[in-house]
Structure 1
Amino acid sequence: MAIASDTDPEHEDLAVTLARFSSALTLDDLPADAIATAKADVFDTLACAAAGSTARGIGELRDLAVEWGGAPQATVFGFGDKVPAHHAAWVNGAMSHARDYDDTHDAAVLHAGVSIIPAALAAAELRSGAAGRDFLPAVAAGLEVMCRLGVATQIGIVESGYMYSSLFGYFGSTVAAGRVLGLDETEMLNAIGIAYSQVAGNHQVTRDGALTKRMQPGFAAKAALVSVQMAKRGIRGVHSTFEGLDGFLRVYLHNRCDRAVLRADLGKRYEFAQLSFKPYPCCRFNHTAIDAALVLRASAGLRPDAIRRIRIGVNRQAYEAVSTPIAVRKVPQTIVHAQFSLPFTVAAALVDGHVGLGHFSDEGIRRKDILALASRIDPFVDEEIERQWGRSVTPANLHVEMEDGSAHILRIDYPLGHPDRPMRTEDFDAKAADCFRAAVKPLPQGAAMGLRERVNGMESLDDVRELVRVLDPTA
């Protein structure tokens, strides 16, 4: 389909459509499954933030925000400092993503909540409070914008070179923060255009094992708070943000985007209701292989010392993201490299029977028993999986060869936490309790359950700042 020109009266830019949708969305417009998913994402994201408060690099970001000072507008999760709203959104977004434990959309291949929810909460604090029934549609609007961009995109993250969690997060978090602040349609359109002037987020961070991998969604959340406040003061951004001659779809996605998907049933069918949630704190591309390893460990009684070799078939983007260069993935030198290592995470699952926060620490990534098994794990591109699942989070085809000559083969298509294989409420609560124990400052016993109660009753919550106070040890 040809791109509409900047002055074509026959077409409105997608930014206009999204501004109208997001500024007008109310709780009554949302179906039950969308409300349930938005609540689940708020709960899960804030739990992940608690664990992320002790992750490497987050303390340094918090120290910078405090050092810079400024108006005490919003709270740094876990630490309790009051800083300008855009700085709080920045640190909190990075914190929420730091453990790589946060939500995914398995078809869009992105994390959604880690920029949107910190931005929306910073906006709520900036305006001195927001009711739950206004906050939920703001989160829903942001999630929907981001997930639709993701599923409509036809170029993978390895080929494009962009991480879509941050790239699309600029727009999703801007829409969410703008809805919390009550931007009208024109102001929202300007905010989206202002955000476009700041969009970034590269895939090189995972190749290099850089700490900035976890910080890119925070940059998106920060830009959102800047953009909506500028728009509120009447500053004009571009209006042909997506489909203009130099719009986002051409410049960033090389026009490899299904424009019909972006608009189809908008406001009637909610793509973000297909969000997945993670049982393991590492890249989602690892999860189907971890699932298969745990199943075989339990069903076949696999002992690591009896395994000769493991081959794991995945799609090409997963192979590139979590299996190359293979020497780095078999012996990860940084925590980020371990989070993005198929050999390391599968070895951890087979050795310990689980994959948890402790595996992604300075001590965890140097464990000789895990590294010994990782050295015998060889991923490869499975051509059948590539043909059928090339753009999505990958299935995994696990081939385990034993020293006695026997073999075990298992393929899993959908990872645990996907809507077709959902986590149970008790799984979420156990994960949250584990995350809260890792918080930078001790939180009261029962804090995770306190968060659960507030999120479950969000429609009647007078002020969503109560969610932030659950993570604030000074409250």
Structure 2
Amino acid sequence: MSSSKPPLLSNATRDLAGFAAQLRYEDLPAEVIDSMKSSLLDSIGCCLYGVTLPWTQRVQAMVQAEQAAPMASIFGSGQRTSIANAVLVNGTAGHAFELDDIHKESIVHAGSIAVPIALAYAERDGGWHGRDLLTVMTAGYEIGTRVGNAATMSLFYRGFHPQGTSGVFVAAASAAKALGLDANRFLHALGIAGSQAGGLMAAQEGAMVKRFHAGRAAQSGVYAAELAGRDFTGIEDVLEAAYGGYLSSYSDQPNAARLTDNLGTVWETAKVGYKPHASVTSIHAALDALVHIMRDHDLSAEDIATVRVGVSNMTYVHCAWEYKAQGVTAAQMNLYYGLAVIAHDGVAFVDQYRQDRLAEPRLLNLIGRIEAYIDPEIERMGPPYRHAAVVTVVTRDGRELLHRELNRRGSPENPIGRQDVEYKFRNVVDACLSKQEVDRVIALVDQVEKLQDVSELINLLAAPYR
């Protein structure tokens, strides 16, 4: 079956490919460079910690058993494998603990895909300038987030995970830029990647495979770019095709105009946010609101009688399902568990999502006294406020305390600074690198645009943990 309908947006895929293929470091505004440097440090931390986790280690064991040609490092292992296999492991690691950066509109965590790809090619080639690294990352971020924007939240509501679906375009664009593909081959890289998009949201309720979506997207993007470089062809109108295209297949309500809106003028790459909590982004505003109430009123968990939390329909569907101790993934995706650990610990970071905490009786007791609902006022504000939350705590002495949080801490609207990203990095990699190594990675990233060669940075990430 073919379609006689007109394309959703004529030449959209070609226009994006041409833009990314011609992109130079000199084209990047200062705000984009600054964003990419923060994302580089944040993503490295996510990857280094993620490699230590059991689900990533299972993927690594499979890859190492293949004994592929050693071209790029598996972070923290001292082991090398093919480009495609290295990004499979390192991408999985980057998304392994709900810590990776987030672009709100697209619902894509580009760092866990673009950074492993850029570093893998830099290692294979040798001699990459730090500016090359930032340019490759930007190509991936800008193309992939625009694809996610155009797919709209409809893609998510249909049950697809944006990281595995729109994420392949982050990957293909990063790899195509790393390979220096011309505009036509770049177009085919995107066209090949679109046929490899996949990832189901049911994975959020207890499966390891959610982490794998980022790694698999990264690997698929590498395959797409490598094939395009060999003149293998893809769907030339993959994004805008009215029948069987990415947007027409994955989204009931695509907004194709978002693919190229103000391309090269308004940078989606500069709209990336970071995660101070080790959980799904959709619940962060609610966690922030509860922190605010407890801090301002000097409450402990024992003071709380009940909690009511109003959220968007998106967050309710995504995160307000009945909590069961099904595993770390499920806990990190669940609104009730996140609120419970905030109430008891004051934070929701790495230690709060240990396996031995997931069925803790005091947490389960409080979860039973938390109610979530769809807040009509938040709904009326539309998609830009889908992360907003209003939290009401009723204390045991009868007080009713309310706080509304429209923009989560770490979002572009309520940003955290580079020093906060560095603080998070130090905490995440504390068990992975020595203090001297941590300091050196931070220093190298801080001056990455001035580095004549990024090999020292790669070597620090590649060395086996001691």
Instruction: For 2:44, give the aligned amino acid.
Output: L
Aligned partners of 1:43 and 1:452 also within 8 Å: yes
Q: Secondary structure of 1:313's partner?
A: strand
Q: What do residues 52-88 of structure 1 show as CA deviations (whole Å, max 9, x unaligned)?
A: 1122311111111110011101100111210011000
1:453 aligns with 2:443: yes
Q: CA deviation at 1:463?
A: 2.6
1:281 aligns with 2:274: no
Residue in structure 2 matched with residue 49 of structure 1 by the alignment = 47
CA shift at 1:393, angstroms? Answer: 3.8
**SS of 1:75 mapped into structure 2:** strand
One-letter amino acid matched to 1:110: V
- Give aligned-pair identity as a percent: 29
- Residue 344 of structure 1 corresponds to 337
Equivalent residue number for residue 141 of structure 2: 143
Q: Please state whether the residue corresponding to 1:144 is helix, strand or coil.
A: helix
Q: 2:308 aligns with which of 308, 311, 321?
A: 311
Task: From 5, 13, 25, give the equivalent of 1:27.
Answer: 25
Shift of 1:204: 1.2
Letter in 2 for 1:349: I
- Alignment partners' CA distance in 2, 1:242 and 1:429: 37
CA RMSD in angstroms comes to 2.0
- Equivalent residue in structure 2 for 1:250, among 248, 251, 270: 248
Question: One-letter code of the match for 1:284?
Answer: T
Partner of 2:396: 403
Partner of 1:132: 130
Residue number in structure 2 paired with 1:267? 264
- Who is 1:430 aligned against? 423
What is the rounded CA distance, in whole Å, between the counterparts of 1:4 and 1:445 in structure 2? 62
Contact residue 156 and residue 391 of structure 1 kept, 8 A: no
Partner SS state of residue 153, structure 1: helix
The code of the aligned residue for 1:278 comes to K
Deviations 1:129-170 (A, max 9, x none): 422212211111110112222233333454221111221110
Moved more, 406-415 or 372-381: 372-381
Contact 2:310 2:373 in 1 (8 A): yes
**Structure 2: tracts of 5 or more residues without a match:** none
The verdict on how the C-alpha distance between 1:210 and 1:178 changes in structure 2, with shifts beyond 3 A counting, is same
Question: Is 1:323 equivalent to 2:323 in the alignment?
Answer: no
Structure 1 range deviating more: 208-217 or 455-464: 455-464
Where does residue 177 of structure 2 map in the other structure? Answer: 179
Shift of 1:321: 1.3
Deviations 1:2-35 (CA, angstroms, capped at 9, x unpaired): x9968x8x97432211110111100110100011
Q: What code does the residue aligned with 1:404 have?
A: D
Q: In structure 2, what residue type is equivalent to 1:298? A: R
Answer yes or no: is 1:376 the counterpart of 2:369: yes
CA contact (8 A) 1:148 1:261 kept: yes
Which secondary structure state, in structure 2, belongs to the residue aligned with residue 72 of structure 1? Answer: coil
Give the 3 Å change call, closer, same or farther, for CA 201–154 of structure 1 in structure 2.
same
Shift of 1:383: 1.5
Q: CA deviation at 1:444?
A: 2.5
SS in 1 for 2:70: coil
1:194 partner SS: helix
Partner residue in 2 for 1:296: 293
| 1:115 is the counterpart of 2:113 | yes
> Which residue of the other structure, out of 194, 207, 212, is the alignment partner of 1:196?
194
Separation in structure 2 between the aligned mates of residue 391 and residue 159 of structure 1, nearest angstrom: 16
In 1, Cα distance between the equivalents of 2:158 and 2:457? Answer: 36
Distance 1:61 1:14 in 2: 35
Distance 1:158 1:186, change over 3 A: closer
Q: TM-score, normalised by structure 2?
A: 0.95
Out of 355, 358, 367, the position equivalent to 2:351 is 358
**Is 2:63–2:85's contact at 8 Å kept on the other side of the alignment?**
yes
What residue number does 1:209 align with?
206
* Residues 1:93 and 1:203: Cα distance change in structure 2 (over 3 Å): same
Query: Normalized against structure 1, the TM-score is what?
Result: 0.93
- Partner of 1:197, secondary structure, is helix
Q: Are the equivalent residues in 2 in contact too, given 1:131–1:461 (CA < 8 A)?
A: yes
1:90 partner SS: helix
Contact 2:101 2:274 in 1 (8 A): yes
Structure 1 equivalent of residue 360 of structure 2: 367
Query: How many Å separate the matches in 1 of 2:461 and 2:455?
Result: 10
Find the residue that maps to 1:174 and give its secondary structure: helix
Structure 1: give runs of 5+ residues left out of the alignment.
Answer: none
Partner of 1:191, secondary structure, is helix
Q: Please tell me whether the aligned partners of residues 304 and 351 of structure 1 are also in contact (alpha carbons under 8 angstroms).
A: yes
Structure 1 residues 309 and 37, CA gap change in structure 2 (3 angstroms): same
Name 1:463's counterpart in structure 2.
453
CA distance in 1, matches of 2:22, 2:45: 29
Deviation larger for 368-377 or 121-130: 121-130
How far 1:450 sits from its partner (Å)? Answer: 1.5
The answer on 1:394 being equivalent to 2:387 is yes
Partner AA of 1:229 in structure 2:
E
Evaluate the alpha carbon distance shift between residue 21 and residue 152 of structure 1 in structure 2; reply closer, same or farther with a 3 A threshold.
same
- Aligned residue identity for 1:35: I
| Structure 2 equivalent of residue 473 of structure 1 | 463
Tell me, in whole angstroms, the C-alpha distance in 1 between the residues paired with 2:223 and 2:443: 32
Deviation for aligned residue 1:267: 1.2
The residue number in structure 2 matching 1:239 is 236
In 1, distance between residues paired with 2:446 and 2:461? Answer: 17
Cα drift, residue 259 of structure 1: 2.2
Are 1:230 and 2:227 an aligned pair?
yes
Equivalent position SS for 2:16: helix
The CA distance in 1 between the partners of 2:453 and 2:48, in whole Å, is 20
Aligned AA for 1:361?
R
Total equivalences in the alignment: 462
Q: Please give the secondary structure, in 2, of the residue aligned with 1:363.
A: helix
What is the one-letter code of the residue matched to 1:30? L
| CA–CA separation in structure 2 for the residues paired with 1:182 and 1:398 | 49
CA deviation map 1:82-102 (0-9, x unaligned): 001100000000001101011
Q: Tell me the CA shift for residue 306 of structure 1.
A: 2.1
Is the partner of 1:373 in helix, strand or coil?
Answer: helix
Partners of 2:295 and 2:103 lie apart in 1 by 28
Letter in 2 for 1:204: A
Tell me: CA distance 1:108–1:159, structure 2 relative to 1, closer, same or farther (3 Å).
same
The answer to whether the Cα contact below 8 Å between 2:294 and 2:300 also exists between their aligned partners in 1 is yes
Aligned to 1:462, what secondary structure does the other structure show?
coil
